[in-house]
A and B are shown apart, each in its own frame.
Chain A
Amino acid sequence: MSKRVKVNIKRQDSPDSGSYWQTFELPVEDGMNVTTILLRIAATPTTTDGEKVAPVAYDACCLEEVCGACSMRINGKVRQACSALVENLLKEQPEITLEPMTKFPNVRDLVVDRRRIFESLKRVKAWAPIDGYTPRGEPDRMSPSDQEDAYPLSRCMSCGCCMEACPQFNDKDDFIGPHAVSQAILFNTLPAGKPLESERLDALAEAGGIAACGNAQNCVKVCPKDIPLTVSIAKAGRATTIHSIKRFLAR
């Protein structure tokens, strides 16, 4: 008899309805991850009580931890479902629990509406304001060390884990979140992003900007890409302070 796993899932039928738990049980497969569990449940959605239910709604896309779609709370910790292997999860606790992220409005079951993440990126103008898309030749060289500093930040996939873990990020405040702070710093570092440096610092100095960070440092612990978020936050704090003083003196 093959090994089996019990999975407790927190469900919700629509944005306005209440939540409830259901338990499913299924055979463990070699190398099985949480997205495979959800795929198997979608094929035969029957609970341990023998009740046939609607398949569990969930977000997933690349299944190799580069797209950021499948963030959810697994055994109480926010992470990507695709890279959460059953074998490792069972070392944490005897049954697996899956819950939707709590900091974003629920749509259904494990699906949440994370549009706020992308709105934050608009606020800090995380883009290169180039003149146009017609050829202008090769841009300036970049040192390998600058590339090595920038590359880790550019791997942020807007998954939302850092916001879920952040005590200052909630639906009452308008904190842009650690990832947007880090993206602002990335673009302030890149030559391509420099022209908007000052505007980004203005955005970071506003309400919901860097001052909203309580320095809990939870973000960096849950980031699936090991992005040095707290380093970016520290840089943002310093740069914003200097920027504000300059603004003050220039008045």
Chain B
Amino acid sequence: MAEKDVIVVGGGLAGLACAMNLAADGTHVHLVSLVPVKRSHSVCAQGGINAVNEVTRAEGDSEYLHLDDTVYGGDFLQHQPPVKEMCDRAPGIIDLMDRLGVTFNRTPEGFRDQRRFGGTLFKRTAFAGATTGQQLIYALDEQVRRWEAEGNITKYEYHDFLSPILNDNGVCRGAVIQDLFTMEIKSIPAGAVVLATGGNGLVFGRSTMSTICTGSASARAFRHGVRYANGEFMQVHPTAIPGTDKLRLMSESARGEGGRVWVPKTAQDSRDPKDIPASERYYFLEERYPKYGNLVPRDIATREIFDVCVNQGLSVEQGRLCVYLDVTELPPTTQQKLDGILEIYEKFQGVNPRVVPMKIFPAIHYSMGGLWADYVKNQKTGGLVEKAPKNHMTNVTGLYAIGEADYQYHGANRLGANSLLSCIFTGLFVAPCVASHIAATAEAVPSSLVDAAKKKETERHNAVAKMNGSENPRTLHDELGDTMTRNVTVVRKNKALAETVAKIGELRERYKNVGSPDGGGWTNQSVTFVRALDDMITMAEVIAQGALMRDECRGAHFKPDFLIEAPDSDDPATLRQQAVEWCKKFKAKNDKWLKSTIADYNGGDVQFSYEDVDTTLVPPRPRTYGLKGAEIIEEVWREQFSEKSPVGAV
């Protein structure tokens, strides 16, 4: 009864949560992963997972405020019903992970300890040392192993997702995958396919992402008609350790525990940082953002670090851009909580960050955008309708997207410690929705359909293996990464974006002349890479073109040419008038651009359109972290522009 089976592609938090929840309910799951699931990229998440808790509640926190922080931090670009459902269920998810044996840090009395992360004033973040993602995925990996031992889950580790199997009506009936040991191509019929395949940081060459995060599964779904939304919204993490093969993450928890970001006031001061007195240090985040300090949202911290290094020339080093992230003044007990990440710095840089300030710089970190996924709003609660088959289904019937691979939850900018939550939440929540879908599907999957899909992918594999042109695929990838990193990360300008789009077109042409340097039959990583390169070029087109077309600033998408000038007059009446003008422009901008970008593959001629965003729970308002004239803007906005908050809002 293959039509009652489900294929889950991706063994990170989202995929594992989905697989275990389906299996616990008796559904047979085929779990496909590029690597043994325990090695998925979720292990790299360090800082923690957000939920309202008893301590924050006592300070006035609520699920509504978690929703508010998330959509405000995301510059209102996310549909609010899914976010509400996620925030409402977050406390239960932390309890569940605790029951599964996650070794969360404890208070002296034995309660779960919580720390503060960016974009909120509450300590909502539960954590397990500085390896929270690793601890969470291990708990889910263990559950999946339990169901594997029971026979409810069949694992396909070291397997690459090649394509969905679509019938003549465009309904998904399975997937074609490839064994990366034997290179054998297999076609698996199923009632539904769930893509939990993560982000696409490798499009930018080096990033904080793992080597498997090419976005190839998403690109393959995209080429089969699945829409891709908000591709241009890529989070740049403010603090990463520059490296030759990877930009390693230095978690926000370093700042959450009191780490401070600074540069010497004198450019490239050659003194030992410890010898530079406080008066000669520029703690630029604290000075510019007194309310949030070092814990401003990620897009803001990133732009400020970039600004200090590039525009003000205050980089710590002459030849390389970096600022200090300083945890040397923290007490040893606090440093101990950060051991996991401090060890990484020490191991890869050969310097002890407990004694010497770390040198860090921003790096591409997370794909807020992703495969377009539907949701069914619960009119009564404002959240989602449980078990509705359409929740997280893409525009292709029977094909679902969850976790970082989907576009919901984070809008234009993700808050720290919300990704682990969104991944586990979507995995758990989608399982009964998928089950409802397959319960309503009775028709068997015709073997002719399965065979035809396998034949097509086998031909494609053989064609790629035979490519013997003169272009080196690794060189093309380097060029792609360079141009994307230079023009499509922190600061975006239309001229450079147009050049990037042209460059990607050039790479697309040169790709046709690539040589696949390996004739081997086992673990042919060259063929796998050449295929992924094609996918990365497709993803780059979606990202760069989407960025070029969006003429505004929103969250991580920063186009200074379209910045609305902040009120700055010393005269109160003029200042007020400026603020009114600012709000008018802001409203006009929202009328035009408070919309999700939707890319359609359309046979290779990618088409863009825009989708309205459901902002019915928290009315959009200007995001004014550290903005000059923030107070007057907020006052004017409240008086003259704001929609009324819905009933029930705190």
Contact = CB atoms under 8 A, between A and B. Distances in A.
B99 A33 contact: no
Interface string A125-147: 11111101101111101111001
Contact of A62 (B102, B210, B347): B210
B285 interface: no
A68 interface: yes
B134 A143 contact: no
B103 A64 contact: no
Contact of B43 (A15, A31, A32, A67): A67
Contact of A137 (B95, B102, B142, B148): B95
B131 A111 contact: no
B236 interface: no
A59 B41 CA distance: 14
A55 B38 CA distance: 26
A76 B398 CA distance: 50
B344 A144 contact: no
Contacts of B36: 69, 114-115, 118, 158
Nearest to B146: A127
Nearest to B208: A64
Interface residues of B, number: 73
Nearest to A117: B36
Contacts of A127: 101, 142-143, 145-146
Given A29-B244, A132-B24, A69 B181 contact: no
A133 B24 contact: yes
Give the residue among A31, A125, A137, A150 with the most B Cβ atoms within 10 A. Answer: A31
A89 interface: no
A157 interface: yes
B265 to A, nearest CB: 27
A63 interface: yes
Contacts of A132: 24
Given A61-B39, A64-B248, A154 B98 contact: no
A65 B241 CA distance: 14
B311 interface: no
Interface residues of A, number: 74
Nearest to B35: A61
B104 A62 contact: no
B145 A133 contact: no
A61 B96 CA distance: 28
A82 B421 CA distance: 28
Contact of B101 (A43, A58, A193): A193
Contacts of A68: 38-39
A225 B157 CA distance: 24
A128 B134 contact: no
B105 A31 contact: no
Interface in B469-490: 472, 474-475
Interface string B325-347: 00000000000000010001001
A111 to B, nearest CB: 5
24 contacts: A39-B474, A42-B525, A44-B472, A54-B526, A55-B518, A55-B526, A62-B41, A63-B211, A63-B246, A64-B44, A66-B43, A67-B39, A83-B347, A87-B350, A111-B523, A115-B36, A122-B149, A125-B146, A133-B24, A139-B98, A151-B103, A151-B129, A157-B43, A190-B103
Interface of A: 13-15, 29-33, 35-36, 39, 42-45, 52, 54-55, 57-69, 82-83, 85, 87, 107-109, 111, 113-115, 118, 121-122, 125-130, 132-133, 135-139, 141-144, 147, 150-151, 154-155, 157-158, 187, 190-193
| Closest 4 pairs (CB-CB, A-B) | A141-B110, A43-B474, A127-B142, A192-B101
Interface of B: 20-21, 24, 35-36, 38-41, 43-44, 92, 95-96, 98-111, 128-129, 131, 134-135, 138-139, 142-143, 145-146, 148-149, 157, 181, 210-212, 243-246, 248-249, 340, 344, 347-350, 428, 472, 474-475, 517-526, 529
